[in-house]
Amino acid sequence: MKNCPCNPKKDYQDCCAIIHNDITKATTAEQMMRSRYSAFVRSDIAYLQRSHLSSLRPNKQQAKDLEKWTKSVNWIKLNVLNITDGLENDTTGTVEFKAFYLQKGKVQVIHELSRFCKENDHWVYQEQIG
C-alpha cells in the first residue's frame, strides 16, 4: 500500500491513481485539485498538461521547467482550506489550498486560490486567481 500524496489516509491506487488513469473520474473541482497536487508530487507532467485548460496549457519549455522543479523539491503535505462551488453539477469552482514542500533545506508553502472549470465535460485547472 502506497499512501496517496493528497491524503495519506488513503491508498494512491484507491484515490488519485483512478483520476490519473481516467481524468473524467474527477467529479468535483476539489478532486481535480487533489489529483493535480499528487501529480506534482509524482512529477507526472503529462497529467498536469492534460488536466490544464487547453487554451492556457503550458508550452513544452514551461512543462520541461516544471518537471525539473517538481523533481528538485520534496513535497510534505496538502491542506485544503476552502472550496466554493465545483460540485458535480457545477461548471466552475474554486479551491484554496496550501501545499508544503522542502527546498534546499527550507520549508516552503504555495498558498493559492485556484479556479477550475469544465472542458469537454470534465474538470480542469483554469488559473490561479489569488
Tens digit of pLDDT for each residue in 15-27? 999 999 999 999 9
> Which residue type is seen at 54?
S
* Residue 1 in this model has a pLDDT that exceeds 80: no
> What is the pLDDT at residue 130?
79
Percent of the chain's residues with pLDDT above 90: 98
**48-62 residue pLDDT tens:** 999 999 999 999 999
Q: Mind listing the pLDDT tens digit for each residue in 77-121?
A: 999 999 999 999 999 999 999 999 999 999 999 999 999 999 999
Determine the average pLDDT of the residues in 27-49: 98
User: Using CA atoms, how far apart are residues 15 and 34, in angstroms rounded to an integer?
Assistant: 9
Distance set, CA 123 to CA 5, 60, 95 (Å): 20, 22, 12
Given a contact cutoff of 8 angstroms between Cβ atoms, the answer to whether 13 and 106 are in contact is no
